[in-house]
A and B are shown apart, each in its own frame.
Chain A
Amino acid sequence: DQQVKQNSPSLSVQEGRISILNCDYTNSMFDYFLWYKKYPAEGPTFLISISSIKDKNEDGRFTVFLNKSAKHLSLHIVPSQPGDSAVYFCAASEMDGANNLFFGTGTRLTVIP
């Protein structure tokens, strides 16, 4: 059973607008969350992470929000750019550090110029 779920397989956004990608998880033991971005024919690349002791982490145009009570996190991209078009994977683990990451199925973001 998927412990990390991304229920929107795709999302289209106009350039300059906000992109919001959502992720839900079921395992209450998860306390470290990551977002990866993947371009075609490449491996996923790390984008941003958040620990469960925080509810927000920001890095430039990218902000991740964590709602532990709802077991939900989201990635906001503002403003969206055509180069952001990629598949975004949400991932979670039970601790920080190198260990088993549980990934969602990904959301394909298309930013329309």
Chain B
Amino acid sequence: DAGVIQSPRHEVTEMGQEVTLRCKPISGHDYLFWYRQTMMRGLELLIYFNNNVPIDDSGMPEDRFSAKMPNASFSTLKIQPSEPRDSAVYFCASTTYGAGIFGSGTRLTVV
């Protein structure tokens, strides 16, 4: 298996634009997590899904953030409109049990 695949690896966008981050989990994994990494707060859980259903979205910072998982092999994290403070590395992780396996992340820069 190729592991958890995230795209794009890097995204630079202007403030106010819509940004969509994508994640393909490992086949057979029924949990999917979206994390955000910043220097100040480390890795923060934004939202996680079980069997494509959102279980806990309490970490989503505000309504500008939304996440979907239309099927077992794909998830998106959307920020609309984006702001400079959203600049961070966003990770997706998947698992069936125990420690999650992370993708390589998307580095988002909002200017």
Partner-A contacts on B (CB < 8 A)? 4, 30-31, 33, 35, 39-45, 48, 50, 56, 91, 93, 95-105
Q: Point out the residues of chain B lying under 8 angstroms from A99, CB to CB.
A: 48
Q: How many residue pairs bridge A and B at CB < 8 Å?
A: 60
B102 touches A45 (CB 8 A): yes
Q: Point out the residues of chain A lying under 8 angstroms from B31, CB to CB.
A: 98
B56 touches A100 (CB 8 A): yes
A64 is an interface residue with CB less than 8 A from chain B: no
A66 is an interface residue with CB less than 8 A from chain B: no
B42 touches A100 (CB 8 A): no
A43 touches B99 (CB 8 A): no
Among A2, A42, A49, contact of B99 (Cβ-Cβ < 8 Å):
A49
How many angstroms between the C-alpha atoms of A105 and B39 in the bound complex? Answer: 7
Closest Cβ–Cβ distance, residue B1 to chain A (whole Å) = 15
How many angstroms between the C-alpha atoms of A89 and B37 in the bound complex? Answer: 11
B40 touches A105 (CB 8 A): yes
A2 touches B102 (CB 8 A): no
0/1 string, A52-78, CB within 8 A of B gives 1: 000000000000000000000000000
B48 touches A44 (CB 8 A): no
Among A2, A41, A105, contact of B104 (Cβ-Cβ < 8 Å):
A41
B104 touches A100 (CB 8 A): no
